[in-house]
């Protein structure tokens, strides 16, 4: 019961905090500490920070099922995921308003949105480990983090962007790697 209450509190707190800034203007910041977490993806697989070693650069896009700017940019993110060599670049989504262990109706809604938007890349469900590793300073969605293959956050961006803007940022960060 105590764990259920904590999960409910985390979900409600994150949803309220994240949705207050849905669609805000983009901002850039960086955090140089490597992150560590364990989460579950939409297929029920355990994912840890080791996922970052699979590509030189990982784009982590934090989104919500009720955030229109989030959903609007997801088709472009799906295209970006397909266009880059996976050894160089990958995208991971974090569903900020659906907790790990959510009911099947919520999971079906997320799957439907992923399918509708063509965002066919790994999506993680929110849990305590992921929240404390990466999301404690997230104030709105979408928020996007760029993380290198050692797990260091290189940059964070608040707000949605057009595909060409993401490409420019990705190409610049890859050139620095």
Specify the pLDDT at position 22.
53
**Residue 145: strand pairing partners:** 60, 156
Provide the pLDDT for residue 31. 47
What domains does the chain contain, in order, with CATH numbers?
2-176 (3.40.30.10)
Distances (CA, A) of 137 to 9, 62, 134, 145, 162: 17, 12, 8, 12, 24
3-state secondary structure of 32: coil
Whose tokens are 């901002």? That residue is 27
Tokens at 60, concatenated = 């982590």
Give pLDDT, residue 18.
Answer: 44
| Cα atoms found within 13 Å of the Cα of residue 145, Cβ hemisphere only | 26
Digits of tens for pLDDT over the chain (177 positions)? 444 434 444 444 454 444 444 544 444 444 456 799 999 999 999 999 999 999 999 999 999 999 999 999 999 999 999 999 999 999 999 999 999 999 999 999 999 999 999 999 999 999 999 999 999 999 999 999 999 999 999 999 999 999 999 999 999 999 999
Single pTM value for the model: 0.84
């Amino acid at each position: 019961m105590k764990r259920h209450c904590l999960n409910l509190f985390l979900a409600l707190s994150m949803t309220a905090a994240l949705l207050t800034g849905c669609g805000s203007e983009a901002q850039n910041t960086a955090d140089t500490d490597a992150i560590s977490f364990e989460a579950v993806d939409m297929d029920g697989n355990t994912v840890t920070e080791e996922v970052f070693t699979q590509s030189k650069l990982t784009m982590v896009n934090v989104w919500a099922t009720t955030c229109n700017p989030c959903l609007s940019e997801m088709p472009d993110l799906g295209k970006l995921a397909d266009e880059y060599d996976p050894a160089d670049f990958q995208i991971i989504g974090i569903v900020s308003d659906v907790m790990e262990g959510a009911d099947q109706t919520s999971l079906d809604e997320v799957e439907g949105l992923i399918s509708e938007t063509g965002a066919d890349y790994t999506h993680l469900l929110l849990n305590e480990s992921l929240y404390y590793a990466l999301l404690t300073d997230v104030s709105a969605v979408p928020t996007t983090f760029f993380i290198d293959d050692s797990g260091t956050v290189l940059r964070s961006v608040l707000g949605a962007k057009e595909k060409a803007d993401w490409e420019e940022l990705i190409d610049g960060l890859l050139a620095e790697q």
